[in-house]
Chains A and B, each alone.
Chain A
Amino acid sequence: MSPRNQRLLLPAASVVVFLVAWSLYVHTAAVSAFVLPPPEAIVAALSKMVFDPKLWSHVLVTATETVSGFVIAVFLGVFLGFVMARIPPVEWAAKPFIIVFQLIPKIALAPLFILWFGFGLESKIVISAALAFFPVFSNALVAFKSIEPGDRDVMVILQARPMQRFVMLELPTALPVILTGMEVAVVLAMIGAIVGEFIGGNEGLGFLAVSYLQNLAVPDLFAVIVLLTLLGLVLYAIIGRLRAWLTPWHVSTSSGG
């Protein structure tokens, strides 16, 4: 077999082997299907679910919360990262808050956000943004600080105005690193939305997971986890496309998968 065929076949083969082993284990060992359903039961639950229009409204809710929280986190993170990189006193003044907010387990704030922002979408968006903020902010801060003095000199000689300097030098320099932060952030944004739905909500995939658990519908619970994974995959792929589109010149783009 050629190495190229191996690269296509081996991942597929290992997934099939894993699923067959899982199925065999559930059927032969004394495992209750309540605790661990076989994969075919999960597929059955999933295929029933996708034809239910109610499922898609739950997907839409979670996707809306995740994307809104993520977008807020990106704008806030890039803006604050830029301001603090350019004006060090702002960073010094904000330092205690940055450290505390970085160390505090943001998940623990979720009940508080529910209290403040209610049981609707808003509280989930806030939790999602709170979780997604840091990777974007810290990457943006480092990226905007790492602009080479020599490149700045070029812009001084050319008498670029601050906005021109930002658009033509600072943002393009920082983008590859900011995008890396965004890859981490988008996953955290989804976690934030789901946790919010767990503890206070009546819609979304997180809510659905909790209600299936209460009904002990374990295959359906697994099906929701599969859906959440797929949603994460889609969001991650979007950032990948964004990277290819925004930073085609950068090494991170050509070597990316």
Chain B
Amino acid sequence: MGLDMPPSRSDIRISGLSKIFGSGGAAVAAVTDANLEISHGEFISLLGPSGCGKTTLLRIIAGLEIPSAGSVEVRGKSVWSGAVRSTTATRPISMMFQEARLFPWFTVAENVALPLRIAGVERAKRQARAHEICATVGLKGFENHRPTALSGGMRQRASLARALVTDPEVLLLDEPFGALDAMTRDALNVELMDVCARAKVTTILVTHSINEAAFLSDSVVVLAPRPARITNIVEMPFERPRDLDLQRRLEFQDMVGHLRHLLTGAAA
């Protein structure tokens, strides 16, 4: 795969992106002139308070929301041509949502294998792959359970497994662990970081947790509301692999303070 790397070396390129909801006097700008380049295998976070357009930005990259202006390229291909979502450009993209969004009529393994089933992979192959990925996210023994029988944390593990089952090149995360308790959230974040690093997947995480953004990311993109825009892009200089002890180090605390300062400054 290394040989046919796109010349730009950036996996995702966002330029002049804007999104306006409504029209006339009721028009609200959800994203204004966003520019961003993300390299292959990089982990970045979109950090900001609600109303800053971070989720809208992610949804435009995913091809779920039509941009009003500007362009998004994934591995050199345009996600949007006008109002039409390009299936080739979005094929390497996987996405995880705040809710697990598992289908209750399928077992955990069937849910995890769903992307492969849709892609036309034969049953035996996709089942084997689903069991393999369930094991890596800590769902061993739960493959034949119904999603409704799982705890919130386990459901998000299954949702993560479903997002990873196709070996995506781009992973979009819309506050995936936002609804979980702090302990489960920490544990899942550590696992997420390991999985992303091992798979060399380009990841964009939407979050309003400063800690989470600083801990997981190579770079944190700070957004501000009214008008919704990108105000800063801050590099996280902590070496990898990282573990939870990092969060107790002074340099980490300083960085969190710096990000908080940028956020409050941006909001004012």
Contact = CB atoms under 8 A, between A and B. Distances in A.
Interface of A: 150-151, 153-154, 156-161, 164, 168-169, 172, 247, 249-250
Contact of A247 (B63, B103, B105, B115): B105
A208 B119 CA distance: 57
A150 B59 CA distance: 12
B95 A164 contact: no
A249 B117 CA distance: 20
Contact of B118 (A151, A153, A158, A249): A158
B64 interface: yes
A160 B118 contact: yes
A151 B105 contact: no
B253 interface: no
A116 B103 CA distance: 46
A168 B95 contact: no
A151 B101 contact: yes
Which of A154, A158, A247 is the most central at the interface, judged by chain B CB atoms within 10 Å of its CB? A154
Nearest to B64: A153
Given A164-B118, A169-B103, A249-B148, 19 more contacts: A151-B101, A151-B103, A153-B64, A154-B97, A154-B101, A156-B63, A157-B62, A157-B64, A157-B90, A157-B93, A157-B94, A158-B114, A159-B87, A159-B90, A159-B91, A160-B118, A168-B114, A247-B105, A249-B146
Interface in B55-83: 62-64
A245 to B, nearest CB: 12
Nearest to B59: A153
Closest 9 CB pairs of A and B: A172-B105, A249-B104, A157-B95, A158-B118, A160-B118, A154-B101, A158-B115, A249-B105, A153-B64
A153 B148 CA distance: 20
B99 interface: yes
Contacts of B103: 151, 168-169, 172
Contacts of A172: 103, 105
Interface of A is mostly: helix
A165 to B, nearest CB: 9
Given A168-B114, A249-B148, A153 B104 contact: no
17 contacts: A150-B97, A153-B101, A154-B97, A156-B85, A157-B63, A157-B64, A157-B90, A157-B93, A158-B114, A158-B118, A159-B90, A159-B118, A168-B103, A168-B117, A169-B103, A247-B105, A250-B104
Contact of B64 (A151, A156, A164, A250): A156
Contacts of A250: 104
A156 B95 CA distance: 10
B68 to A, nearest CB: 19
A246 to B, nearest CB: 9
A247 B148 CA distance: 14
Contacts of B99: 150
A149 to B, nearest CB: 9
Nearest to A169: B103
A79 to B, nearest CB: 21
